Amino acid sequence: MKLHLPSQSGVTVVENIFIDQYMPKANGEFVKLYLYLLRCAGAGKELSLSSIADVFDHTEGDVKRALAYWEKLHLLKLQYDGKGTLCDILFLDGKTQEETAASREPIPETGNAAPSVSAQPPVKKYSVTRDRKKELKEQAEIQQLIFIAEQYFSRPLTSTEQSNLIYFYDTLHFSEDLIEYLIEYCVSKGSTSPHYMEKVAQEWYKAGITTVTQAKADTNLFNKNYFTIFHAMGIKGRNPAPVEMEYMDRWLNEYGFTIEIVLEACCRTIRQTHQPNFQYADKILEQWHSQGVRHLSDVKRLDEKHSAKAAEKKEAGTSPASKGSSNRFNNFPQREYDWNALEQQLLNAQSRKEG
């Protein structure tokens, strides 16, 4: 993966528009990554998602979210090869940033300024007014999308489903082709639920997906991960159910775990429950997420810490003092015997018997 600056220089230059307009609102980790990319671009370094993740002790998912954030703000332009792999990152100069920022302003509906773009997808119910919905439904693109969705669903769309399409088109700014692929993808997974479709769309938005090629690369990766997890759980011969996909999406996307960490949780689930149990695995991964696990080495560290505590507890419970108090036979008075006297008594008894 290569980085490209508008011009080369011997110093790392941060434009004033970035400091004044973008930096105050951005997540601190996103700012650090942006500055690091600037530095590497000035030095002519070639990077990969994994190398960037190692520098900041993040996951590749964390890096993708940061890149998607800056792309949404039109400070970066991400380019992908034919396989959907990120290959180039282009920095946009100040002039380009201002022009693209102006060009992405939505049609004003009130006198208020438009909200700034965020890494989190806008909430649907606050995004489009009733008049705007009516206006959009009259557009040829929306009418075509409604027709396509009805063909996939084999029925007329509900009001909620129509609102979803408008949300994808007008608020998330998905292209007509991307929305059509979104519908196709969800139907192929056996779900026409508006909630599920909205969730998938929001995940694509957060991942910076803007083209069908990117979406296919993303879904192919997740499909591969789905069946890898299924194999670890001992499930074969069927596709994941929607609730199972929600679990796996949470582990891989929301928590940002690598597939290796998820598989470790699955193995522990099978060892403990002797059956596939997504809820049990979710508890393990939720706890690891709260404990800041990023790599398998973090899991090993937690295991060692747990083992050390268990050993201390066991040692405390088997100390000499505790052994004496816990031995029930030691709770009775111990008798003292004169073995010489006992032996003499036995000899006398034997003599009397023989006499």
Per-residue confidence band for 213, with pLDDT thresholds at 50, 70 and 90: confident
Q: pLDDT grade, residue 273 (50/70/90)?
A: very high
pLDDT, position 112: 33
Q: Which residue has the higher pLDDT, 189 or 251?
A: 251
pLDDT confidence of residue 123:
63
Pairwise CA distance, residues 329 & 333, whole Å: 9
Q: Which of 31-40, 128-137, 245-254 is least confident?
A: 128-137
What pLDDT was estimated at residue 116?
35
Residue of higher predicted confidence among 314 and 337: 314
Question: In degrees rounded to 5, what are phi and psi of residue 79?
Answer: -120, 140
85 pLDDT tier (thresholds 50, 70, 90): confident
Distance CA 151, CA 179 (A): 14
- Across the range 213-235, mean pLDDT stands at 82
Task: Name the band, by pLDDT with cuts 50, 70 and 90, for residue 306.
Answer: confident
Pseudo-torsion of CA 294, 52, 26, 214, nearest 10°? -90
Q: How confident is the model at residue 106, as a pLDDT?
A: 38
Helix (H/G/I), strand (E/B), else coil: 282: helix
Specify the pLDDT at position 337.
Answer: 55
Q: What is the mean pLDDT of residues 136-162?
A: 88
pLDDT at 14 over 90: no
Q: Write down the mean pLDDT value for the chain.
A: 78
